[in-house]
A and B are shown apart, each in its own frame.
Chain A
Amino acid sequence: MDELGALFHGFAVVLSPLNLGLMIVGIVLGVLIGVLPGLGGANGVAILLPLTFSMSPTSAIIMLSCIYWGALFGGAITSILFNIPGEPWSVATTFDGYPMAQNGQAGKALAAAFTSSFVGAFIAVVMITFLAPLVAKFALKFGPPEFFAVYLLTFCSFVGMGKGSPFKILASMAIGFALAAVGMDTVTGQLRLTFGIPDLMRGFDFLIAVIGLFGIGEILLSMEEGLKFSGKTAKLNPRVVLETWKELPRYWVTSLRSAAVGIWMGVTPGGATPASFMSYGLAKKMSRDGAKFGTGQVEGVVAPETAAHAAGTSALLPMLALGIPGSPTAAVLLGGLLIWGLQPGPLLFVEQKDFVWGLIASMYLGNIAGLLIVLTTVPLFAAILRVPFSIIAPVIIVICAIGAYTVHTAMLDVWLMLGFGVIGYVFKKLDYPLAPLVLALVLGDKAEDSFRQAMLVSQGDLAIMWSNLLVGSITGLALLLLLWPLLSRAWAGVRRPKRIELNREQPVD
């Protein structure tokens, strides 16, 4: 019950007028970011990061994490009213949310979406409250080989759990690692891979990559279609909200299952987007009304929203407890920690109690505040979406440029951002995943350091990765996940050998 005491201490830290004010500012900005195309959780937080440089770390993380909650809430608004997912994780919400809006049930769909987002986040926060300190305590025993094994597990799970070509996942990850290696070598102090260009000495900052890949890339993608907004208007009155709340407990099984899917996908770096799809798919298969999914079922809104929010929230667990982010947005928050002078990792729970528990307490309060704010301000944000794209697009590009410039006050970064934007556009169209690239760029140096330290300890013997039960089982699990695409194909081959033979027997002319 130590955790409860610490949590109440955290509430005491958070409940200052300044922090509560920042929380509300953060939520409103976050919903705005979630609603606007081209600005998302990761790059929105990255752009706003410089605004927090002068704040105390606790206030800063409260505002930034509230931007994140707001963005998670905001994505649902555009999906339901305009059939345009503001965020990739709300794509699955459009399947049943937009039909509901067309049937005149926009208010009900929004209330269901917001409430189930809240439920998902709440379950995930409770999990973080009790699990994160345990994980951190456990991780204090970690040495360099254990940490490298955990990094390995993080990246291998992208390959094992990702969809699409494993080569594309590997390529995207390797590009991230390679970009991370550019600049000063942390061990020997040598310059690496700068090819004689002095500006490259600084290396590539992942914030620039995030702003370009997710911001500019998304704008280019939206421009392709020449966006036309034709949305439904929504009025959310208390009666509709209450009626929806009466109905929601019926779907408790779906909620719990979706939250579990979300938590699992969030802690292992699967991310909110696959979580929302998986949970929608499971709900469709398991629900009694599964056949009616896609025509405007409340359950079809509940499932993806709960999972997306649970995943988004639980992605902060590995970031807090191990210093390894579970999603690009968590990576941006981790970058923030470093800028504010905090060392992420298990020691955070020992040395920065105020910060950690303040953050966890703000997750509870931020989600409650978020729910209240979005329930009351939907018409306002829906109105923003009526601003034509020819105004919004240049403003977003300007905001991205400002964000890229302020990271290091360097103009080269703005050019790099533009380059990353083109890469983001091409990669998105070709189904290269972007999250592994960003996470490799963030964790590249640390993964390399822990690998080199481990190799120094063992005099270059790779057997150190199996030197005890802990490190051996993590490494083994990592390799299993890495080889998963091959194994699952082999398994499929063993199970259905007849079909292959049949194919072979068929005449080919």
Chain B
Amino acid sequence: MEQDRGAGAARGGVSMLAVEVVVAVLVFALGLTILIGSWTLGSSWTSDGPGPGYFPFYISLIMCVSGVGIAVQALRKRPEGIFADGQQLRQVLVVLVPAALYVLAVQLIGLYIASALYIALFMALLGKYSPVKSTVAAVAIMVLFFLLFEVWFKVPLFKGAFNLLQFTGY
């Protein structure tokens, strides 16, 4: 999905047609990958019934055909309008990029601390809250989650490669 964002972001928006075609090509490419994968598995009939690649093989055929179908329909109908304008794309990226950084942070320092940081920063930077208010809200929310998951429902959450919450004993 990276390409469709790069393709038209330069000119204030991505056209519907471009995204339609790019996604159709991706569907086709995925179909092709699976086609090759299931072909090597043995998509034919073996001595004891259909091989392990039999079902995925036909699924990938459907995928390739529908990828072509979507592309042809899009090119014939020429959908008007834009997929998203520059402003909308920026809004989406403003959420998506920090979310990806957040998941990376979870991997490193664990879910609780990363989430508290994420909520606080989101509130302070995007919501224009005062740093104190944001920190208090974020810590309060994550303490509640900690109690809910670790203490009450006994579902341990990811503590990260560097466990900073070791002192709590959970």
Spell out A's residues near B (CB within 8 Å): 50-51, 53-54, 165, 167-168, 170-171, 173-175, 177-178, 181, 185, 187-188, 190, 192-193, 195, 216, 219-220, 223-226, 388, 390-391, 393-395, 397-398, 401-402, 405-406, 409, 411, 414-415, 418, 421-423, 425-427, 429-430, 432, 448, 451-452, 455-456, 460
**Contact-residue size bin, chain B (C-beta under 8 Å from the other chain):** 35 or more
Given contacts A405-B158, A429-B83, A448-B55, A178 and B123 within 8 Å (CB-CB): no
Where chain B touches its partner, the secondary structure class is helix
Q: Which residues of A contact B75 (CB under 8 A)?
A: none
Select one of B30, B66, B157 contacting A167, CB under 8 A.
B66
A173 to B59, CA, bound (A): 9
Taking a contact as CB atoms under 8 Å apart, the answer to whether B66 and A391 are in contact is no
Q: Which residues of A contact B48 (CB under 8 A)?
A: 456
Residue contacts A-B, CB under 8 angstroms, 5 given: A50-B155, A167-B65, A174-B62, A174-B63, A181-B55
CB distance from A81 to the nearest CB of B (A): 22
Q: Which residues of B contact A398 (CB under 8 A)?
A: 115, 118-119, 141, 145
- Asked whether any CB of chain A lies closer than 8 Å to the CB of B50, the reply is yes
CB-CB contacts of B127-170 with A at 8 A, as 1s and 0s?
A: 11100000001000100010001000111111000000000000
Taking a contact as CB atoms under 8 Å apart, the answer to whether A406 and B118 are in contact is no
Select one of A175, A397, A426 contacting B30, CB under 8 A.
A175
Select one of A171, A188, A422, A426 contacting B70, CB under 8 A.
A171
Taking a contact as CB atoms under 8 Å apart, the answer to whether B96 and A220 are in contact is yes
Taking a contact as CB atoms under 8 Å apart, the answer to whether B50 and A422 are in contact is no
Taking a contact as CB atoms under 8 Å apart, the answer to whether A393 and B100 are in contact is no
CB distance from B140 to the nearest CB of A (A): 11
Taking a contact as CB atoms under 8 Å apart, the answer to whether A223 and B52 are in contact is no
Select one of A168, A195, A224, A427 contacting B91, CB under 8 A.
A224
Q: Which residues of B contact A425 (CB under 8 A)?
A: 92
CB-CB contacts of B86-106 with A at 8 A, as 1s and 0s?
A: 001001101110011011001
Given contacts A171-B67, A224-B91, A426-B23, A192 and B99 within 8 Å (CB-CB): no
Taking a contact as CB atoms under 8 Å apart, the answer to whether A224 and B92 are in contact is yes
Q: Which residues of B contact A192 (CB under 8 A)?
A: 37-38, 41, 52-53, 56
A225 to B31, CA, bound (A): 34
Taking a contact as CB atoms under 8 Å apart, the answer to whether B111 and A223 are in contact is no
A394 to B102, CA, bound (A): 10
Taking a contact as CB atoms under 8 Å apart, the answer to whether A397 and B99 are in contact is yes
A465 to B102, CA, bound (A): 50
Q: Which residues of B contact A411 (CB under 8 A)?
A: 106-107, 158
A185 to B51, CA, bound (A): 10
A173 to B62, CA, bound (A): 9
Q: Which residues of A contact B23 (CB under 8 A)?
A: 426-427, 430, 432
Select one of B4, B73, B126, B156 contacting A165, CB under 8 A.
B73
Q: Which residues of A contact B99 (CB under 8 A)?
A: 216, 397, 418, 421
Taking a contact as CB atoms under 8 Å apart, the answer to whether B52 and A451 are in contact is no
- Known pairs A190-B41, A394-B119, A422-B1. 5 more at Cβ < 8 A? A171-B70, A178-B60, A223-B94, A418-B99, A429-B19
Taking a contact as CB atoms under 8 Å apart, the answer to whether B155 and A51 are in contact is yes
Q: Which residues of A contact B34 (CB under 8 A)?
A: 178, 181, 193
Select one of B52, B65, B88, B100 contacting A190, CB under 8 A.
B52
Select one of B16, B95, B127 contacting A223, CB under 8 A.
B95
Task: For A216, give the chain B residue with the smallest CB separation.
Answer: B99
CB distance from B151 to the nearest CB of A (A): 13
Given contacts A165-B70, A175-B27, A181-B55, A391 and B123 within 8 Å (CB-CB): yes
CB distance from A51 to the nearest CB of B (A): 5
Task: For A185, give the chain B residue with the smallest CB separation.
Answer: B52
Given contacts A192-B41, A193-B37, A390-B122, A395 and B52 within 8 Å (CB-CB): no
Q: Which residues of A contact B94 (CB under 8 A)?
A: 223
Task: For A53, give the chain B residue with the smallest CB separation.
Answer: B155
Q: Which residues of B contact A220 (CB under 8 A)?
A: 92, 95-96
Q: Which residues of A contact B16 (CB under 8 A)?
A: 430
Task: For B1, give the chain A residue with the smallest CB separation.
Answer: A422
A124 to B102, CA, bound (A): 43
CB distance from B131 to the nearest CB of A (A): 14
CB distance from A448 to the nearest CB of B (A): 4
Q: Which residues of B contact A50 (CB under 8 A)?
A: 153, 155
CB-CB contacts of B36-62 with A at 8 A, as 1s and 0s?
A: 011001000100111111111001101
A187 to B42, CA, bound (A): 14
Select one of B50, B59, B73, B122 contacting A178, CB under 8 A.
B59
Task: For A181, give the chain B residue with the smallest CB separation.
Answer: B56
Taking a contact as CB atoms under 8 Å apart, the answer to whether B66 and A401 are in contact is no
- Asked whether any CB of chain A lies closer than 8 Å to the CB of B12, the reply is no
A75 to B107, CA, bound (A): 34
A188 to B126, CA, bound (A): 52
A235 to B107, CA, bound (A): 46
Taking a contact as CB atoms under 8 Å apart, the answer to whether A178 and B56 are in contact is yes
A53 to B118, CA, bound (A): 28
Q: Which residues of B contact A53 (CB under 8 A)?
A: 155
Question: Which 3 residue pairs of A and B lie closest in terms of their CB atoms, listed nearest first?
Answer: A390-B127, A167-B69, A394-B122
Task: For B28, give the chain A residue with the smallest CB separation.
Answer: A171
- Asked whether any CB of chain A lies closer than 8 Å to the CB of B109, the reply is no
Select one of B38, B84, B145 contacting A224, CB under 8 A.
B84
Taking a contact as CB atoms under 8 Å apart, the answer to whether B38 and A193 are in contact is yes
CB distance from B93 to the nearest CB of A (A): 9
Q: Which residues of B contact A170 (CB under 8 A)?
A: 62, 65-66, 69
Task: For A457, give the chain B residue with the smallest CB separation.
Answer: B49
Which of A53, A174, A460: most chain B CB closer than 10 A? A174
A174 to B63, CA, bound (A): 6
Taking a contact as CB atoms under 8 Å apart, the answer to whether A391 and B127 are in contact is yes
Task: For A226, give the chain B residue with the smallest CB separation.
Answer: B91
